[in-house]
Amino acid sequence: MRDRPRVAIAHDYLTQRGGAERVVLALHRAFPDATIHTTLYDPENTYPEFRDAHVVVSPLNRIGPLRREHRAALPLLSYAVSRLPVDADVVVVSSSGWAHGVPATGRKLVYCHAPARWLYQAEAYLGGPAARSVRGRVLMLLGGGLRRWDRRAAASADRYLANSTVVQERIATAYGIEADVLAPPYGIDPADPQEPVRALADWGADGYLLVVSRLLPYKNVDVAVEALRGLPERLVVVGSGPLEARLRAEAPDNVRIVTGLSDAELRWTYAHARTLLAPSLEDFGLTPLEAAAFGVPTLALHAGGYLDTIDEDVNGMFFEAPTAEAVRAAVVAARDRTWDTEAIRAHAERFSEARFHARIRGEVERLLAP
């Protein structure tokens, strides 16, 4: 009788809380014996569930400041990944541009969140022309070599999966690889316990608009904040990042920014929201599905991964541009819309973790078949 195959997981870095990290947790629940390989690991700033896993890190992890600010490690990450060998029958790689380069003794299945934004969408990633910032100038200097490394890394995979149709197209453009689409699961279970957020307690009864996002330029959180200026609606922003200080300084009185929420607090925040705002150009974007699991609809940018997850007849409405004017108009237009919360929840179930587990296990079995 054949022994159970050895499966490992690889991911770029585990230093924050976001959708990609939730996917790694979902992969680990699909393969609970799998070791997780990553360049940088900061247990204090990512999801606590990773402490239950065996996490193997690169030598780069010894440099404390890089664990706290992984973007500063960008020039070193290709080197670090190339020296993070994985010994397994199959390594399932969760990659946004680095982890697909891990050396593997067995087969390599890449689950791609997006080809590296800093190489193929640098202006959007940086929030403006590359030449305007030190980081942008570094990217311009290193870009040619990193693109060559990145394409070799992509070619080392035995099979590629894309998390959305727009990423499927980007993979084809960047690498010439035909990838099948496997949508990630939403990672927040509304049946789990909730814990009230003190800073929002007085807003909970009447509800609010909600943004859940890292505070980076391309996420357009500043657009949502400006859109609410002068409106009677309230907006809650859940997230942290480089733009936090500026957003706090500029936010009007009907906008509150909260950070460092536990999952129980995040569930409470979703449960008391009236509508989710999603103004960024996302490769997939889990938040509309997380909101839908609580019966909450979404107003989203008509682009990117939201095209796969939002049905305008069921769980949301689109606006056409990431501008304050377009978001404000969508908020006003949605005031009179009546939503079927049970239909919204049923829509979310199409993206359940059970479905994701069945498909990803099937992909591993397919790679190991004679």
**Taking phi first (over 0 means left), then psi (-120 to 50 degrees means alpha), and beta for anything else, what does residue 26 get?**
alpha
142: exposed, middle or buried (Cβ count in 10 Å: 0-12, 13-18, 19+): middle
Q: What is the reported pLDDT for 1?
A: 38
143 and 17, same structural domain? yes
276 and 172, same structural domain? no
260 and 332, same structural domain? yes
Q: What is the reported pLDDT for 206?
A: 94
Q: What is the reported pLDDT for 283?
A: 87
Sequence-distant (≥ 6) Cβ neighbours of residue 178 within 8 angstroms: 160, 172
Sequence-distant (≥ 6) Cβ neighbours of residue 269 within 8 angstroms: 197, 200, 210, 212, 236, 238, 258, 261
- Between 32 and 370, whose confidence is greater? 32
Q: How far apart are CA 50 and CA 317, in angstroms?
A: 35
Instruction: State the average pLDDT over residues 207-235.
Output: 96
The percentage of residues in the chain with a pLDDT greater than 70, rounded to a whole number, is 93
Residue 225 has pLDDT above 90, yes or no: yes
Using pLDDT thresholds of 50, 70 and 90, give the confidence band for residue 125: low
Q: What is the domain extent for residue 142?
A: 7-185+352-368
Using pLDDT thresholds of 50, 70 and 90, give the confidence band for residue 124: low
Q: What is the reported pLDDT for 4?
A: 83
Residue 128 has pLDDT above 60, yes or no: no
Using pLDDT thresholds of 50, 70 and 90, give the confidence band for residue 18: confident
Q: pLDDT tens digits, residue range 49-91?
A: 999 999 999 999 998 888 888 777 777 889 999 999 999 999 9
82: exposed, middle or buried (Cβ count in 10 Å: 0-12, 13-18, 19+): middle
247 and 304, same structural domain? yes
345 and 304, same structural domain? yes
Q: What is the reported pLDDT for 354?
A: 94
218 and 337, same structural domain? yes
Q: What is the reported pLDDT for 126?
A: 55
Instruction: State the average pLDDT over residues 92-115.
Output: 96
Instruction: State the average pLDDT over residues 327-342.
Output: 97
Residue 281 has pLDDT above 60, yes or no: yes
CB atoms near residue 178 (< 10 Å): 10
Is there a domain that residue 343 lies in?
Answer: yes
Q: pLDDT tens digits, residue range 160-174?
A: 999 999 999 999 999
In the β-sheet with 36-38, what is the strand arrangement from edge to edge?
55-57, 36-38, 7-11, 90-95, 107-112, 159-162, 180-181
Is there a domain that residue 29 lies in?
Answer: yes
13 and 159, same structural domain? yes
Is there a domain that residue 207 lies in?
Answer: yes
Q: pLDDT tens digits, residue range 297-308?
A: 999 999 999 999
156 and 14, same structural domain? yes
Q: What is the reported pLDDT for 132?
A: 59
Instruction: State the average pLDDT over residues 19-41.
Output: 96
Using pLDDT thresholds of 50, 70 and 90, give the confidence band for residue 145: confident
Residue 130 has pLDDT above 70, yes or no: no
Is there a domain that residue 193 lies in?
Answer: no
Is there a domain that residue 1 lies in?
Answer: no
Residue 37 has pLDDT above 80, yes or no: yes
Q: Which H or E run includes 38?
A: strand 36-38
Q: Which H or E run includes 25?
A: helix 19-30
Q: How far apart are CA 5 and CA 17, in angstroms?
A: 30
Is there a domain that residue 121 lies in?
Answer: yes
91 contacts 108 by C-beta, under 8 angstroms: yes
294 and 341, same structural domain? yes
Is there a domain that residue 170 lies in?
Answer: yes
Domain at 257, CATH number: 3.40.50.2000
State the DSSP string of 183-233: PPPP---TTS-----GGGTTTTTT--EEEE----GGGTHHHHHHHTTT-SS
Residue 262 C-beta-side C-alpha neighbours within 13 Å = 11
Is there a domain that residue 42 lies in?
Answer: yes
145 and 71, same structural domain? yes
Among candidates 165, 34, 150, which has minimal Cα distance to 96?
A: 150
291 and 319, same structural domain? yes
Q: What is the reported pLDDT for 201?
A: 94
Overall number of domains in the chain: 2
Using pLDDT thresholds of 50, 70 and 90, give the confidence band for residue 138: low
55 and 117, same structural domain? yes
